[in-house]
Amino acid sequence: MTTYLKTSLAAPELGLSQGHLKRQTEDKGGPLKQGEHYFLGPTRNSPIQWDVEACRAAFHRLGMLRRMADKELQSAGISNLAERQPVRS
């Protein structure tokens, strides 16, 4: 049985801030799809209900794709973006 949590409970469960979780929705350019990863309520003030396991699976999939892409770039002798990021002190 799937459990749905409102944003204030789902975000810490995923290790994210509430704002970051909301920015991951498809209408904001993120990977999480309405009707699959989250559900809106009947009114504008209704809490968003999140399927935490579906969100976790989507983030895992993206992480694995990123790691595979980095590995391919590295094997082709192309530096990946993570290596070119400036180090912040």
pLDDT confidence of residue 76: 85
pLDDT confidence of residue 25: 97
Q: How far apart are CA 51 and CA 4, in angstroms?
A: 5
pLDDT confidence of residue 85: 61
Q: Is residue 89 assigned to a domain?
A: no
pTM above 0.85? no
Q: How far apart are CA 43 and CA 86, in angstroms?
A: 44
Domain interval for residue 55: 4-84
> Residue 71: which region, alpha, beta or left (left: phi > 0; alpha: psi -120 to 50)?
alpha
Contact 5, 39 (CB under 8 A): no
pLDDT tens string, the chain, 89 residues long: the values are 889 999 999 999 999 999 999 999 999 999 999 999 999 999 999 999 999 999 999 999 999 999 998 888 888 888 656 555 666 66
pLDDT confidence of residue 22: 97
Q: Is residue 58 assigned to a domain?
A: yes
Say how many domains are in the chain: 1
